[in-house]
Amino acid sequence: MGLTCHKLTLLTLGALTIQILGLSLFVLGFFPVKPALSGVSGPESFQAPGCDSFENSSDSVSQDLPPHRLKSLYQELSGIPPLFDRLILMVIDGLPAEFVLGKDGQPPRKDLMEAMPYTQSLLSKGNAIGYHAKAAPPTVTMPRLKAMVSGAIGGFLDVAFNFNTQALLDDNLLGQLFRIGWKMVMLGDETWLKLFPGLFMRHDGVSSFYVGSPLAFDVKDTVQVDQNVSRHLDEELSRDDWNLLILHYLGLDHVGHIGGRNSFLMIPKLMEMDEVVKTIHLNALQSQENGRQTLLVVVSDHGMTENGNHGGSSYEETDSLALFIGLKNGMSNYASTAHYSVNQVDIAPTLALLLGVPVPKNNVGVVISKTFGSLKDEKWLRVLELNAWQLLRLVQAQLPGLSCGSFPCDGSTIDLGSRSEECNGSPEKVLCCLYRNAALLHSAWKSIKVSRSTSGNDYSNTVAAYYQFMETASEWLSRRVTDVCISFSTSIDFTIGNDYFALQKPVGLLAFGVVAMVLSCLVLLGLLNCISGEVCPGRWCLDDAFILGTVMILVMSMGSSSMVEEEQYIWHFFLSTSYLLLLRRTVQSLPAGSVLSSFKLFKRQKERSDFRVLSIFLLLIAGRILRGWHQGGVNWTHLPDISKWLEQAGNDTVRSIQVASGILVICLGLFALVLFGSRRNIIQMVGFCLLNCGLLVLWHIVEYQGNAIASSSSGATLLAQRIYVILGITSGGIVLALPWFITDGMKSSNSRRVDSQNNFVLLPFRDSSYVIGLAYVLCWCLLQLLLQQPINSVPIFLLLIQILAILLLFSSCGLQFKEWVEVALLYYMGMAGHFALGNSNTLATVDVAGAFIGLSSHSTLLSGILMFIITYASPMLFLLSMVMYVSVKSTAYLAAEKNADSGHLLKVMLGLPCLVPLGLNSILLTAYTIVLLLMRNHLFVWSVFSPKYLYVCAASVCTYIGVLAVAATEVYAYFILVLRRKISVSVSNGVG
């Protein structure tokens, strides 16, 4: 006896539960929360490890002493007077360092230099020193701000928390400054207020997506977010009651999201930022005359890609700026001040030691040497020593019991008989060896200095030794302490095995997660095999082998970082090849002589072969256009494509194409409804509702989209909210109401092939599935026209053409193709469309701008949902089309099911449309989980493989939701029709 519908449902739900559990355990094990040392650095930071007289009472000392006493204690212990008593930290969100410092030793473009004349003059005169500060992925704001103030690299999953910032509890620069009595003011991005609640005596925070009106909430604003910062600037600069002023400008990042690096808004925004730098610097010079030493540091949290996005690990995204203005660096020309490269985490220890506070406890950064150019030799070596001690403590915390020898705690010199040694072996030995070499050289230099001997080489060797230890420790800590793998540039000639750099993972948790996913995958594939054998038995053919081979090739390609980056080529190739196989199969099935007649489309009487050949050619043409619309992936995005060509034509052209695409989508959807072949009132009502939704979307496009100011207005927000509500009510109302009102007389031509004994339920069931499925598809397309970038309107229309063409092909093919092959092909089309809309396996292509359309206030949940809807527009569209597919697929095999019950019919009708997507997704999810585990020590594990895994997880969620929507819709419609039939029979029997 075959598998019953009840057992099939329970086994499927059980397998999915196991899969979700396994996935959750694996994610928790592979992406752990970043470990951090508790407490804060205190007086012990100024003494060598092992000599900590304050070690056990550091926190209490810091808490008990008043701020001015603690400040004096720090200055006394450090031996380095604070070089500045005021700091202005100016954050220009999204500014690539290339715009200010150039690239590869070349200055910036002429227009970029002319946009920031004052800043460039500071660099050329030696009054500023600039660095390309390499940011760690993920390149989003919140983790980058944490890195700059704590010196610690955040966890990879910090990207998920970027939209819901929590207070930073780790030791950080702001907390250290607050303890010594510094007064702080913050103007700009409210992320600072969430990270450091209660630290600012004055603040004016704005949301990262704020615009002027409280009812207008859109990432596209580029003006008001910066005016809200600058409007307080003159007032704050005239005050003398603060020590730290933070200015976080968001407009440049928003400019990038709108038009990319080359937006016409970029130059005016750079000019605005240059004026701010000029205002602050001139004020700092004036305050210097009054005895106040002010340091201006201009930084960016990340860069941006050519299209203005960020989040990934490309050079363009990680190339952030660190510009120090007010240092006495002794530089005298542009070339010597603008081409240094550091890491973003190096900013934290540099500022801490410049301002006279301990280096944050979890810092993995290394002090930036050129910023201490005014210090004498002994003071500079003291700075290096303090940074080295802090890093050594962090290493010892990760390697309990590590001892690097004993050194005098009173600062006396070491026996000079000890010599530097070659460092190799285990990490413990290498790190201790490097530290001992630096300490010995430092002690030797002190001894020589005491004896009044001079040796420039001894000083240089000591500095080099300290940097060799600190850079090695920094790299090792970055790999071990955190779950982000960053390659730091060092000049160290030694080897440490990869095993030592391997991330420490909870093996049991990972193994259980993988086993659970493998078990779930096997169960789903077993169920799929049972249903496939029952519904569509027969010998395997070329089409079947190709569809299955596609999955195998995808699995094998996952082990290559290059193939992961350019996955879209695989999907487009296999999809095009599938269309050609369909064409071959269709031509082989045509009667003799019908191939030539199939092109005579204007005859009155057309055969089904006409529609089949036409459908395949539509698929080929639409697929080719989609393939060339976006030059996706990572390595070839700079190549020309259709979207770039249209964008160069101007906003008016893109907007006209968007309106035309919207009209075509509405017309095509209503035409498909007319093909249903009924003039009943219920269908006319459905058409009217869908037309109303389409007109509202067109209104929004014409009235508000394409205009940055109009799209940020309250009218645009309210209209978008109304569209959301009306689309939801329309699609939900059609689903709930149609099965109650549809009649047996509404039979499409495809429905008449079903055996008459099952017509009483199957015919209205198929009719309602067709209309409901069409409503799902059309409403989803209209929603995407509202949310997607305007340039993606044509791909949305082409995806709709593909759906209707493939369903027309399947409806006219009878039993020519196996059902599981048809469903798998729909799934493949959804994945190819995902990349055709400009998505990739890097986080930089996630469309942030559309995720805030229609939101009047910040909501992490709602913006996250909209972002998910935009990103997975194509896979969800093709999953929802499964409802239509149920209505048009061949059901001739049901003619023999004369005594079939409801459970059996539902199993036959819904088994494959639900199990095939779940099975295919399960194969890809399980395979890539294993690949990620094997690649955990790969160089690109965090820049390539991990972002891809996040996409795989999100695609799994999309598949779960889509399959649930299909199953729930069809089961509801079927049982409502069965209930209506029972009521009708009862009424008839009562009357009789």
Are residues 566 and 826 in contact, defined by beta-carbon separation less than 8 angstroms?
no
- Return the residue matching tokens 């090849």: 577
Going by C-beta distance under 8 Å and a sequence separation of 6 or more, which residues neighbour residue 584? none
- In this structure, the dihedral spanned by the alpha carbons of residues 714, 719, 724 and 725, taken in order and rounded to 10 degrees, is 110
- Return the residue matching tokens 């193994």: 511
Going by C-beta distance under 8 Å and a sequence separation of 6 or more, which residues neighbour residue 885? 773, 807, 810, 822, 823, 826, 913
Residue 890's pLDDT is 59
SS (H, E, C) 161-217: HCCCCCCCCCCCHHHHHHHCCCCEEEEEECHHHHHCCCCCCEEEEECCCECCCCCCE
Domain ranges for the chain, please list them: 77-372, 519-591+651-991
Residue 249: closest CA among 222, 267, 268: 222
pTM of structure: 0.76
Q: What are the DSSP calls for 675-730, one per residue?
A: TT----HHHHHHHHHHHHHHHHHHHHHHHTTT-HHHHTSHHHHHHHHHHHHHHHHH
Q: Identify the helix (H) or strand (E) that includes residue 436.
A: helix 427-450
Q: Identify the helix (H) or strand (E) that includes residue 970.
A: helix 946-991
Are residues 187 and 233 in contact, defined by beta-carbon separation less than 8 angstroms?
yes
Where the chain has pLDDT below 70, the residues are 1-2, 32-36, 52-63, 154-166, 207-221, 328-339, 401, 405-420, 449-456, 480-505, 536-540, 589-610, 676-680, 706-713, 744-761, 813-816, 858, 890-901, 989-992
Residue 56's pLDDT is 54
- In this structure, the dihedral spanned by the alpha carbons of residues 119, 120, 124 and 130, taken in order and rounded to 10 degrees, is 70
3-state SS class at 141: helix
Are residues 570 and 554 in contact, defined by beta-carbon separation less than 8 angstroms?
yes
962: exposed, middle or buried (Cβ count in 10 Å: 0-12, 13-18, 19+): buried
Q: What are the DSSP calls for 870-916, one per residue?
A: HHTHHHHHHHHTHHHHHHHS--GGGGG-TT--HHHHHHHHHHHHHHH
Domain at 77-372, CATH from 3.40.720.10, 3.30.1360.40, 3.40.190.10, 3.40.710.10:
3.40.720.10
Q: d(Cα 748, Cα 678) in Å, to the nearest integer?
A: 8
Torsion angles phi and psi, residue 338, rounded to 5 = -120, 5
Are residues 260 and 306 in contact, defined by beta-carbon separation less than 8 angstroms?
yes
User: Which tens digits make up the pLDDT trace of 432-453?
Assistant: 888 888 888 888 888 876 554 4
Residue 542's pLDDT is 76
- In this structure, the dihedral spanned by the alpha carbons of residues 614, 615, 620 and 623, taken in order and rounded to 10 degrees, is 140
Residue 391: closest CA among 423, 439, 435: 435
CA 879 centroid distance within chain: 23
Q: d(Cα 762, Cα 749) in Å, to the nearest integer?
A: 14
Q: Measured between alpha carbons, how far is residue 178 from residues 36, 58, 63 in Å?
A: 21, 16, 12
Residue 360's pLDDT is 93
Torsion angles phi and psi, residue 130, rounded to 5 = -115, 150
CA 624 centroid distance within chain: 27
